[in-house]
Structure 1
């Protein structure tokens, strides 16, 4: 049984530590189209891994975070993310927290609805939409995307109308001509955006450039629908180039541009602890030549000494930043939430951090 009481106390302590850190370190850096200023930890929990925090503003002005979390002591090598994960719901009075645990929003059901992970939430067309991934019996090749919708944030979620009975909205394609027909790990890591009157569900697959290739490449495609709740149909070609692998893309749009904010998976434009900002005029092609470096690793913002006594549960001690998720204010990106496998708080696993974000 997960100790959610410890999440509250540990989260409060995290806020104090974050405030002290943000006062002692400038934590400001510019990259690409945006400037980022480090604020502090968003969520950490004693005895738990926290991986990613997706924000949405509630009608009362409070910020709600949907968080992937699982116990630190049940599985080796960080593998609990696809074995024991659940989606927790946290609430804070403002974007910078502190955030307190409210309830489990989506439980791990094991079996064919195993380990709900990598949640992303948005409010679109007056509905809250929560997308995430599950697998079957801890087998990564079975990953698929689920879409829930709700009228409020009480976690009374229901499967999207165009989804399967359990909410499954997208599986890897069964059409041999589609880009991810040969996807090695199913389909995962969704991000939903409304653009030009249609609904674009971006998704990742690991595909080989050719049958002789030893390893697949991490690339993104998109499935499109005329309705928010689907059904969604795969666009036949991938939308990002195979030579610039990416992970954890978060989609957002302006009047004439779709953006993907992603992890730079293999360090195409710097270290793989940072991220990339992709741009597209139509949502179907993100040209690598127009892509810019976005954020850097955690060490870049907080300084190496502050992490020297930390523990790296995943990645290196410099703190790879992953799972970018954005909170908007007045229709503009305002706060960025990122996950890292490094934590300096004894007893707490991986955690998430919050940055102020503004256009340059």
Structure 2
């Protein structure tokens, strides 16, 4: 017995002398406000996702709906459609090309929150739809194409209409208690696998109106699926929304809204960092961007019409344009506008990726 006690003490001394594992200092993004990227007369513009086409032009895929339609900004889940715009530069101006994905109503209602990527030589457009204006039915659609002429087809591993992901139904599914279906996809290729990150609002406390806003990942061996649920990747707390995933220098990053105001106001956002893309520790989360008034001044926004949020101009739906494999421009939406007859609009920032000094 005495020998065992001495052995335990020796091990404790050795462990205490060892350096504790250090958490890598997170990288960061720096921003320069360039101006309004896109607005349209008589419409709300939301969720502007950019990509550079083979023509060298910047293509934007945008959620939009009528300014004179639904009240209380609810048109986003009742009559949204995905528009396609093209410009010669990241700052625009952008010209309307056409409707990339129409609102069909019924079972394929209000396509919204588009995000576009080019992976393995194919363009992939992911977005959400619902059924009959009911948020509890939200699901994720995946379309693919060989060009940007809007010849989209459902992913090979999807359901016939392009549905690639629904909320989990298996007893062990991480989001089986999701209140609002599954939504807000962001796609990334990691170590030869395809990670489809997705949001769920989990019922953690039945006494509270809302639950935990969290992200999980579904993984496939092929780009077009099928995608299988694996795990939840962010902690259980009300605070992550509108994720855009990207990879830089052997780390996976999330750029998101600070939905729970955990590191500042909910008008700004967070940068999450992960070694493997399968878990994003809170210790590696930093404040990343602020509300629009931080960049343009409160006086500039004083006469804006508020359609969503407030006059600080909270920034939502971050989407990144890459140049030469590096984050170069950031597009985000605000629910305010000073232009008469124009609804919510998109703004563009020049960004610089600052790699953490690990020395």
TM-score norm. by structure 1 comes to 0.90
Q: Equivalent residues in 2 for 1:9-48 (5 A)?
A: 33-48=28-43
Does residue 335 of the first structure (1) align with residue 329 of the second (2)? yes
TM-aligned CA deviation for residue 215 of structure 1: 2.3
TM-aligned CA deviation for residue 176 of structure 1: 1.8
Contact 2:84–2:98 (CA under 8 A) maintained in structure 1: yes
Counterpart in 1 of 2:23?
A: none
Match of 1:71 among 47, 59, 66: 66
Does residue 112 of the first structure (1) align with residue 107 of the second (2)? yes
TM-aligned CA deviation for residue 98 of structure 1: 0.7
Counterpart in 2 of 1:316?
A: 310
Match of 1:148 among 131, 134, 143: 143
- How far apart in 2 are the matches of 1:169 and 1:255? 29
SS, match of residue 227 in structure 1: coil
Counterpart in 1 of 2:129?
A: 134
Counterpart in 1 of 2:7?
A: none
Counterpart in 2 of 1:247?
A: 241
- Return 5+ residue gaps in structure 1 as ranges: 1-30
Residues 230-274 of structure 1: per-residue CA shift (max 9 Å, x gap) = 000111x31111225111000001242110000010211000000
TM-aligned CA deviation for residue 136 of structure 1: 0.3
Residues 260-297 of structure 1: per-residue CA shift (max 9 Å, x gap) = 00001021100000000001111110011110001100
Residues 192-241 of structure 1: per-residue CA shift (max 9 Å, x gap) = 00011100000000002245554212110010000000000111x31111
Does residue 289 of the first structure (1) align with residue 283 of the second (2)? yes
Residues 303-354 of structure 1: per-residue CA shift (max 9 Å, x gap) = 1111000011000111010000000001000000000101111110000000
Worse overlay, 310-319 or 172-181: 172-181
- How far apart in 2 are the matches of 1:312 and 1:212? 32
Counterpart in 2 of 1:200?
A: 195
1:138/1:181 CA distance change after superposition, 3 Å: same
Q: CA RMSD in A?
A: 1.2
Residues 34-65 of structure 1: per-residue CA shift (max 9 Å, x gap) = 11000011110111000110001001110000
Counterpart in 2 of 1:325?
A: 319
Residues 92-126 of structure 1: per-residue CA shift (max 9 Å, x gap) = 00111111100000000000000000000010000
Contact 2:115–2:125 (CA under 8 A) maintained in structure 1: yes
Q: Equivalent residues in 2 for 1:39-58 (5 A)?
A: 39-58=34-53
TM-aligned CA deviation for residue 359 of structure 1: 1.6
Contact 2:42–2:342 (CA under 8 A) maintained in structure 1: yes
SS, match of residue 285 in structure 1: coil
Contact 2:321–2:327 (CA under 8 A) maintained in structure 1: yes
- How far apart in 1 are the matches of 2:256 and 2:304? 25
Q: Equivalent residues in 2 for 1:214-293 (5 A)?
A: 214-235=209-230, 237-243=231-237, 245-293=239-287
- Return 5+ residue gaps in structure 2 as ranges: 1-25, 355-359
Whichever of the two has the greater Rg, that structure is 2
Worse overlay, 252-261 or 302-311: 252-261
- How far apart in 1 are the matches of 2:52 and 2:222? 23
Counterpart in 2 of 1:94?
A: 89
SS, match of residue 289 in structure 2: coil
**Aligned pairs, number:** 329
Contact 1:32–1:293 (CA under 8 A) maintained in structure 2: no
